[in-house]
Each structure stands twice: as structure tokens, then as C-alpha cells.
Structure 1
Amino acid sequence: MQKIALIVDSACDLSLEVIKEKNIRLLPLRISYSHGEYKDKIDISADEIYGNLEKEVPKTSLPSAEDLEKILIDLENEGYTHVIAVTISSGLSGTFNSIRLALEEHPNLTSHVFDTKILAMPEGIVALEVANLIKEGKSFEEIVSELPTIRKNIIGYFTVNTLEYLKKGGRIGRVAGTIGDMLNLKPIVTVDEEGIYYTVCKARGRKQSISKLISFLKDELKENKCNVWVLHGGALEEAKSVLESLKGLNNILSLDISQISPALGVHGGPGLLGLAIQKVC
């Protein structure tokens, strides 16, 4: 009989409460300051990251090999036979590859590592769907076969107050920034098929950038019923305001707020706002 475990990295933006409730194993990314290293979501919060950005912009790195090895050994000891790992885009992090290589050293665990090609709550939605399928008693093979369909129905968009932190972290990809900052142009950013950031469009000023975000959602709602999450990085009040503005829209099945994880907050900087959209067929 199959006993299936689910591993996610901390870029997924799922709360610790949800992770515990869904019996998900969390693999934290690492956040390094000059004075020490922290485990993402475990040792440090997103609010702490934003509160310290003016003093120091920390570095982020892959989950530790020790943390990953402990999870895999624990799973074997607990009688798990299969593992599904859901990861942040391989175009933005080496986490996918590190998990894949580690699992090769554990042949007793039949495994599948799924590169979502996304990040933040859109990645978390994939993980939630997998957790639900495990709870429903679906087989490993059934779940793996459904992953591409789950993923194709999820998209995310975000806008930032400044591209300064994306540039400092080397995560800017095809997002052009310096001139845009000077002209107060706010990019609406998503990821391409390779999981790399790119700019969908630009808006002049904060108000217009939020309007653009909402317009993308409205386009999806014309064709599909959707679950929607408002994403924020150190911008809770603005996120609440956006959420309120969405409540009257047709075809929204559920509506919630999600805070960007500490490690992603390092790169987005304070003031990030976004939307995660899951089309429900």
C-alpha cells in the first residue's frame, strides 16, 4: 500500500498552520545576514525582513542539505513509500535540482519532483491541490499525472514599489528597471514558460498598477470561475483594500489574503502587491 508524503519549499507562502493541518513537510530556504543565518518562516518572519531592509539586505540561499536529509530519513522511518516534492521555479532557484539529487540517494522512496515554474502562493496552490489528492486517497501515479493540469490553471501577477530589491538579488530576469524607477513606471510582473520573471506591462504610478492587476483578473473571470488570493509584502492594509474591491466581482469562488514569505520578501521589497488566480473548470 502506498503512503505518500508531500514536501514543499518555503517559497510556497503557505502558512505554518496550513502546512501542519495538511501534513506537509516544509523545507525552508535560508536567509543570511552579516550576523547570522535564519531558516525561512521558521526563525524569521516577513515583517522582520521588511523592518530590517534599510539596515541590511540579506542574502537568500537553497535549503540546507542537512534539513532535506533529515526530512527524507524521517519519512523512511515513518513508513512512507512515495514522495512528491513541489518546488519554486527552477528558473529562479536551484531548490528543484537539490531535492531531485537528494532523492536519488534514497531509492526506497519512489519520488517525483515537480518544478512549478512559479513561486509564492501560486506554488502554494499546487501544493494544496496535491495535499487534497493525497487525502482523497489518490495513488502516486494518479497525482503525478494530474500535476500538469493543476499547474496550467494557475497564474500569478505582482507589482512592486521599486525594482531595487529584485536587482540587488539578481532575480530581475527580463524585468527592466532603472529608467522605469525614474519615470515612476510600475511593472506588472509574472513568469514565462521557463519560470523567469518578465514584465507583462507597465503602469504609471501605484494606483494604475493596482488597476492593471485587477484588469488581468477581470479578464480571467469573464471566462472562468476562479479562486483568488491577494498577495502582499509588507502592504497588508493595501491588500485588504484590494480584497474589498474584488468582493463584488462575479465568478470568484473564494477570496483570501496571502503574505509573501520572508525569503521572497527579500527580493520583492516592501510594498509588493499581487494576485494568485486559480481557474476552476
Structure 2
Amino acid sequence: MSQPGRPQFDVIADGGLDAYDELLNAVPVAPFSINFGDETRLAAEFSREEFFRRLRAGSPHPTTSQPTPQTYAELLERATRPTLAVTISSGLSGSLNAAGQARALEPQKGSAQAFTIHDSRTLSAAQAFQVHAAMSARAAGHEIATAVAWMRQVSEQTELYFTIDTLEYLKRGGRIGRVQATLGGLLNLKPVVTVDKATGAYTNVGRARSWKGALEAVASQVTRRFGNGTPLRLGLLYGEVPDSAQAVLEILRGRHPVLWSGFAPVNPVLAVHTGPSAVGVAAAPGKWPWDIE
């Protein structure tokens, strides 16, 4: 039974999360690793300046590694209550599987009753919205079942769109064919990408021939999805600098009442594939579901 004001569970996430200071996102994180050739370090061990400098150098191009089961087991060992893990989409990473394997390493705390794993079916800012939902349920004294229900509501309402200035980093990382990347480069195409809710994988929903056009295309996807004039909550994302994300926010402010907005940098694990100039937005209509009277 819920006991208002008394936490019933702990929440953890993984390195797919881009956290917002203004949301309830301060949770322990199972980190991804970044590999530059034979050098492997946790993503948090890189300063943004060092990471982007080495990413631009491109030799070698970095790769990423999901959290290990042992990493999740260590988080479980430190937990004092039943634990809820909110992972990056299983369509994009094996992080969820690693969390499941941690049950064998921590059999008592890793039981189904003590450890619940939730596939966010998304990442980044949209994952942050779901973590906020889980932590809001926790703060209100609810149990994990309520947190999962609130996360599912938020998932249904939230859309994530992002664009990148160049296909070069996707090509380097093997996430796009060389011919496709070369053609895109010749045409100066900027894709607009979302996460398919059915598969949890990336899908292309638009393209533009200029960076300004790409920012407009991202904003237009939001308005097309929710309707002009709909009040929105907006989690903006940026690579090295926030200027382009601010431009997307200004476009959307001209079309929607903005109930909340925040900015977060894309973390290095995601920037490996998107490059320094990524811009994105997680958008959802109206108030948070639990705030509606």
C-alpha cells in the first residue's frame, strides 16, 4: 500500500539518459563505456572538450559499450529498497539484457519482486521524461506498479525528434552505409530522426537541405504531431553549443504555449553517432499526467 511521502523503491537508469536539472533525474546511472582504439574509459570520465576534440579527429573513431551486468549488480547491491531500472530502448542497445543478467549476480536483490526492469523504448530526453515520472511516483510514496503506469503514460504522450548536421559520424560508426552517407553529403541532406514506438529503433521522418531548414523541420514535426496551439513540455538537446536548440525552442514558442522547457547536452555515448552538431527535442502535450486535476 502506498504511504505518501515515504519512498517505496529506488530508481536507476543507464547511460542512454540525458538528464535535466529541472526534472527529477538525479538517479544512479549504469554507465556506458567509450572505446578509442585500445583505450576504454567510462563516458563520464571524458570532459566534453576532450571528447569532441577526439571525435572530430576521427582516428580512431570511437565505439561504445553497454553497461555490464556487474555494473548493474553493483547498483543493486547499494540499493536499500526494491529497485526500478529505466533503460535505453532495447531496440538500440543491449543494456536491458545486461540489467536482466544482473539478477544472477545479486540473486536476493535481483529477484523479480526486488528488481523491476522497464524498457523505455526510447533514449535521451524522452528517457529523462520517463525517469521523472518514476521519481514523481516515488516522491509521492507510490509503489513501483504506479511508477511503471506513469512511465507508460508519459511514453505514449512523448515524441523525440532530432537532426544532425552531417552523416559523417553515422558513416564512421557503421550506422549508415558508405554510399548512402556519400550521397547524403553530396546533396547536403540533414535527416530528421525519431524513435519508432513499435520497434524502439531509429526511423527517418524527414529531411532538409540546410541546417536552418533542418531546425525548422524538427519543430514542424512537433507541431504536426500535437497540433498548432497545443501547450507543450519541451526537453531541448544540443551537441557542443545550445544555440541551435534555442532556435528550435523559439520556433515552437511561436506556435505553442510552452508550459516547461529545459536544455541538456547530448552525452558522449550518443554523440559518438550524432556528432558535435546534434539538435533534438522531446515534446509532450499539456501538464504531466499526474498533475491533471
**Superposition TM-score tier, normalisation by shorter sequence:** 0.7 to 0.9
- The residue that corresponds to 1:5 in the other structure is 10
| 1:32 and 2:32 matched | no
**CA contact 1:157–1:189 (8 Å) conserved in 2:** yes
Summarize the alignment of residues 53-132 of structure 1 with structure 2, pairs less than 5 Å apart: 53-55=55-57, 56=59, 57-75=61-79, 79-80=80-81, 82-109=82-109, 110-132=114-136
Deviation per residue, 1:198-228 (Å, 9 max, x gap): 1101111111111111112223253743201
Structure 1 unpaired stretches of 5+: none
Q: Distance between the aligned counterparts of 1:212 and 1:119, measured in 2?
A: 20
- CA–CA separation in structure 1 for the residues paired with 2:265 and 2:54: 17
Count residues in correspondence. Answer: 272
SS of the equivalent of 2:175 reads coil
Instruction: Using the TM superposition, name which of 177-186 and 194-203 deviates more.
Output: 177-186
Partner of 1:168: 172
Select 1:243's aligned residue among 229, 249, 269. 249
Say which of 217, 226, 229 aligns to 1:212. 217
* Match of residue 44, structure 1, among 46, 67, 70: 46
Aligned equivalents of 1:151, 1:172: Cα separation in 2: 27
Does the CA contact (< 8 Å) of 2:230 and 2:285 recur in 1? yes
Shift of 1:136: 0.8
- Using the TM superposition, give the Cα deviation of residue 67 of structure 1 relative to its aligned residue in structure 2, in angstroms: 2.5
- The answer to whether the 8 A contact 1:28-1:39 is kept is yes
Indicate how the Cα distance of structure 1 residues 87 and 268 shifts in structure 2: closer, same or farther if over 3 A, else same: same
Rounded to whole Å, the distance in 1 between the matches of 2:103 and 2:22 is 25
**Partner Cα distance (2:125, 2:90) in 1:** 16
Instruction: Report how far residue 265 of structure 1 moved.
Output: 0.7
Question: Is the CA contact 1:83–1:111 (under 8 Å) kept in the aligned structure 2?
Answer: yes
Q: Which whole-Å CA distance do the structure 2 matches of 1:89 and 1:226 have between them?
A: 24
Gapped runs of 5+ residues in structure 2?
2-6
AA of the residue aligned to 2:63: K
| Cα distance change on mapping 1:241 and 1:22 into 2, 3 Å | closer
Structure 2 match to 1:186: 190
Query: What letter matches 1:50 in structure 2?
Result: F
Q: Specify whether residues 159 and 52 from structure 1 end up closer, same or farther in structure 2 by C-alpha distance, changes over 3 A only.
A: same
Question: For residue 262 of structure 1, what is the amino acid of its counterpart?
Answer: P
Contact 1:88 1:95 in 2 (8 A): yes
Which residue, out of 280, 283, 286, partners 1:277? 283
Runs of 4+ in 1 over 4 A off after TM superposition: none
Q: Which has the higher strand share?
A: 1
Work out the CA distance in 2 between the residues paired with 1:65 and 1:115: 16
The question of whether the paired residues in 1 share the 8 Å contact of 2:125 and 2:236 is answered with no
- What is the CA deviation profile of residues 23-49 of structure 1, one whole-angstrom value per residue up to 9, with x for unaligned ones? 511111101123622212x21134432
User: Given that residues 229 and 256 in structure 2 are in contact (C-alpha distance below 8 angstroms), is that contact kept between their aligned partners in structure 1?
Assistant: no
Counterpart-to-counterpart distance in 2, 1:131 and 1:170: 36
Q: 1:22 to 1:243 in 2, by over 3 A?
A: closer
Alpha-carbon contact 2:84-2:116 (below 8 Å) kept: yes
Over the aligned positions, Cα root-mean-square deviation in angstroms equals 2.3
Residues 37 and 26 (structure 1), Cα distance of their counterparts in 2 relative to 1, 3 Å cut: same
SS in 2 for 1:11: coil
Q: Match of 2:141, SS?
A: coil
The TM-score normalised by the length of structure 1 is 0.87
Partner of 2:4: none
8 Å CA contact retained: 1:239, 1:273? yes
1:171 and 1:134, CA in 2 relative to 1: closer, same or farther beyond 3 A? farther
Question: Is 2:218 aligned against 1:226?
Answer: no
- Secondary structure (helix, strand or coil) at the match of 1:274 reads strand
Of stretches 44-53 and 117-126 in structure 1, the one that deviates more from structure 2 is: 44-53
For the residues of structure 2 that align with 1:124 and 1:179, how far apart are their CA atoms?
34
Read off the aligned partner of 2:42 and give its amino acid letter.
K
Query: What one-letter code is carried by the residue in structure 1 that aligns with 2:260?
Result: S
Q: How does 1:5-24 map to 2 (within 5 A)?
A: 5-14=10-19, 24=27
Question: Structure 1's 279 and 111: CA in aligned 2 closer, same or farther, altered over 3 A?
Answer: farther
Q: Is the 8 A contact 2:233 2:285 kept in 1?
A: yes
